């Protein structure tokens, strides 16, 4: 049998009380770093989208049929479960789950580092992860979004593979994929570990079964064809950035720079140790490389995509700090703590004009409609549905799915003909069967405005009239007798 490339240090198995001291520290740190997340009702449109989806599902809707999104089902189900227990008026329960997800990720990274490099490395990895986990624009780092719930699964996949638990590793990879498709990138380092360990012939079937069975189960529980389309095959136009190259490049460079600030304590030791040893744990480099590919995939470069990079970066830094003098570890932790404080201050103090706009718009929608009325929001901020507590008139919760504006594209590939395949016939049928009492044009001059979408422009001209403006958004009421 081939020996394991990472032998657990003796202290990892013999020192008592390690976790009873470390877990309370990590729990306290997880709570502190997530304080800003509880300061606002919503952080970004992903939270709004998930909240609206969960309400629809709770009232008998079906994912990929009565409500659709280009995401797997795990996180919408998680929101639905939280709403079933605590009600859908607040996201506080989901925010608590996000704290637990970050704590679990930190604990798994600490366990990985401790098994490989000893007690101090375990503490270092857990603490550093929580300090850098908020190191992005707060709307990306503090939201209870897809990546936050994906990360424990990616860390668990590596944890299980490190211990040769291949079936469990496959389950964890499946969990990461079902949270967000790019979570499946962790399969690359997991597969490398399987080969590196010289695992028995039964290992690959166990890994494959653990991965495929949950994914097939999710497809069968929802709608197999819809699951395949919305999670894999139906996003070709969304992944293209033709005509938006500069826009995308600026966003990518900006978010990379923000992440660089957050990781100011991690990068120098990694670079220094790399120069000294010219090597490093290959699975960590593969994990980091596959995560980079996952961030780049689709060419959107949203800040929350970069969360996927943090676990392998933290473990790489932990490995590097072992090779350097102790004062380097102190400097890395202090620098990371200072950067963490900076990002927490940003999260607590920075204004959120889009949230204020959505709240004012939701108040106007609620005033002009009744609880049983359907509303069509023509915009990219579905949280207005949730804030107003009104039922969407369509399964397409944003104009992005009907115009390809999803992802903030500002180039020429925005318009009716760039919509998700087959979306407009379904959309027209929905509006015919259940005409919305109110249509809200929240495009505010962006490339998907109604005057650039002929079908919507004709609908508004024939059946609706403007009745109110809110911060540039126009509310259209159905003409009497329609």
Write down how long the chain is. 482
Of residues 354, 391, 344, the one with CA closest to residue 372: 391
Mean pLDDT of all residues in 230-254: 77
342-360 average pLDDT score: 93
pLDDT score of 2 more than 60: no
Q: Could you tell me if 378 and 474 are in contact, meaning their C-beta atoms sit under 8 angstroms apart?
A: no
Q: In which band, very low, low, confident or very high, does the pLDDT at 280 lie, cut at 50, 70 and 90? A: low
- Is residue 235's pLDDT more than 80? no
pLDDT at 277 over 70: no
Q: What is the mean pLDDT of the chain?
A: 91
User: Does the pLDDT at position 12 exceed 60?
Assistant: no
Q: Give the mean pLDDT of 390-419.
A: 84
> 3-state secondary structure string, 110-130?
HHHHHHHHCHHHHHHHHHHHH
* Residue corresponding to tokens 């607040």: 90
Query: Which of 374, 388, 381, 401 lies closest to 442 in space, CA to CA?
Result: 381
Given a cut of 90, is residue 281 above it in pLDDT? no
User: Which residues sit opposite 378 in a β-bridge?
Assistant: 441
**Residue 7 burial class via C-beta count within 10 angstroms: exposed 0-12, middle 13-18, buried 19 and up:** exposed
Tens-place pLDDT, residues 356-366? 999 999 999 99
Two tokens, residue 122: 């375990």
Residue 256 parent element (H or E): helix 245-262
- The end-to-end CA distance of the chain, in Å, is 77
Sheet holding 391-392, edge to edge: 391-392, 374-378, 438-441, 473-478, 464-470
Residue 11's pLDDT is: 47
pLDDT of residue 278: 58
User: Percent of the chain beyond pLDDT 90?
Assistant: 79
Say if CB 361 and CB 440 are below 8 A apart: yes
| 150 vs 214: CA distance, rounded Å | 15
Give the residue-averaged pLDDT of 307-311.
97
Average of per-residue pLDDT across 430-444: 94
Q: Which of 18, 266, 25, 269 is nearest to 119 (CA)?
A: 18
pLDDT digits (tens, 9 = 90+) for 35-64: 999 999 999 999 999 999 999 999 999 999
pLDDT of amino acid 240: 61
pLDDT digits (tens, 9 = 90+) for 91-127: 999 999 999 999 999 999 999 999 999 999 999 999 9
Look up the pTM and report it: 0.93
> Do 153 and 176 touch, CB atoms closer than 8 A?
yes
Amino acid 279: pLDDT: 58
Helix axes 326-349, 310-322, angle to 10 degrees: 150
State mean pLDDT over 172-190.
97
Return phi, psi of residue 18, to 5°. Answer: -60, -55
**And the tokens for 392?**
């969407």
Q: Is residue 1 scored above 50 in pLDDT?
A: no
Taking the C-alpha atoms of 362, 368, 372 and 374 in order, what is their torsion angle to the nearest 10 degrees? Answer: -70
Averaged pLDDT, 1-6: 45
Res. 236 pLDDT band, cuts 50 70 90: low
- Taking the C-alpha atoms of residue 60 and residue 363, their distance in angstroms, rounded to an integer, is 26
- The whole-number average pLDDT for the span 372-377 is 96
379 vs 470: CA distance, rounded Å: 13
**Segments in 87-202 forming alpha helices (H):** 92-117, 119-132, 138-141, 146-162, 166-179, 187-196
Over pLDDT 70: what percentage of the chain? 92
pLDDT for the residue 482? 58
The pLDDT tens digits for 122-158 are 999 999 999 999 999 999 999 999 999 999 999 999 9
Three-class DSSP labels, 311-342: HHHHHHHHHHHHCCCHHHHHHHHHHHHHHHHH
Query: What is the pLDDT averaged over residues 71-79?
Result: 97
Strand pairing class (473-478; 438-441): antiparallel
pLDDT band for 3, please (50, 70, 90 cuts).
very low
């Amino acid at each position: 049998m081939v020996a394991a490339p990472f032998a657990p240090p003796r202290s990892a198995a013999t020192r008592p009380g390690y976790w009873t001291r470390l877990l309370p520290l990590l729990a306290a740190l997880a709570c502190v770093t997530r304080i800003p997340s509880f300061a606002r009702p919503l952080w970004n449109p992903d939270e709004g989208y998930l909240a609206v989806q969960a309400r629809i599902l709770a009232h008998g809707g079906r994912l990929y049929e009565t409500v659709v999104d280009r995401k797997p089902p795990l996180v919408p189900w998680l929101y639905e479960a939280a709403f079933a227990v605590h009600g859908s008026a607040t996201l506080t329960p989901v925010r608590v789950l996000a704290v637990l997800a970050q704590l679990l990720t930190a604990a798994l990274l600490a366990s990985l580092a401790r098994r490989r490099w000893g007690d101090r490395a375990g503490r270092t990895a857990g603490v550093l992860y929580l300090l850098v986990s908020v190191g992005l624009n707060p709307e990306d780092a503090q939201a209870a979004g897809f990546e936050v719930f994906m990360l424990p699964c990616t860390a668990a996949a590596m944890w299980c593979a490190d211990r040769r638990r291949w079936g469990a590793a496959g389950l964890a990879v499946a969990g990461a994929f079902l949270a967000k498709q790019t979570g499946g990138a962790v399969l690359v380092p997991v597969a490398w570990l399987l080969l590196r360990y010289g695992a028995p012939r039964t290992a690959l079937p166990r890994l494959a079964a653990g991965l495929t069975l949950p994914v097939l189960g999710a497809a069968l529980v929802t709608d197999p064809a819809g699951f395949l389309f919305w999670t894999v095959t139906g996003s070709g136009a969304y992944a293209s950035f033709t005509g938006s190259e500069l826009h995308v490049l600026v966003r990518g460079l900006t978010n990379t720079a923000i992440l660089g600030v957050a990781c100011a304590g991690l990068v120098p030791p990694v670079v220094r140790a790399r120069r000294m040893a010219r090597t490093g744990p290959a699975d960590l480099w593969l994990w980091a490389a596959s995560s980079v590919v996952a961030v780049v995939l689709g060419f959107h470069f949203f800040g929350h995509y970069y969360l996927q990079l943090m676990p392998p970066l933290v473990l790489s830094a932990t490995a590097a700090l072992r090779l350097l003098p102790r004062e380097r570890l102190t400097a890395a932790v202090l620098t990371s703590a200072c950067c963490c404080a900076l990002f927490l201050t940003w999260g607590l103090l920075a204004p959120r004009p889009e949230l204020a706009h959505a709240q004012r718009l939701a108040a106007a929608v609620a005033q002009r409609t009744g609880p049983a009325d359907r509303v069509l929001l023509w915009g990219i901020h579905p949280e207005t549905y949730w804030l107003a507590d009104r039922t969407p008139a369509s399964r397409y919760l944003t104009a992005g799915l009907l115009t390809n504006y999803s992802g903030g594209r500002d180039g020429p590939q925005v318009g009716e003909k760039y919509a998700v395949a087959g979306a407009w016939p379904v959309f027209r049928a929905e509006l015919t069967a259940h005409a919305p009492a109110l249509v809200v044009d929240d495009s505010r001059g962006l490339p998907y405005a109604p005057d650039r979408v002929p079908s919507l422009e004709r609908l508004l001209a024939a059946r609706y009239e403007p009745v109110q403006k809110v911060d540039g958004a126009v509310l259209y009421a159905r003409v009497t007798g329609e």
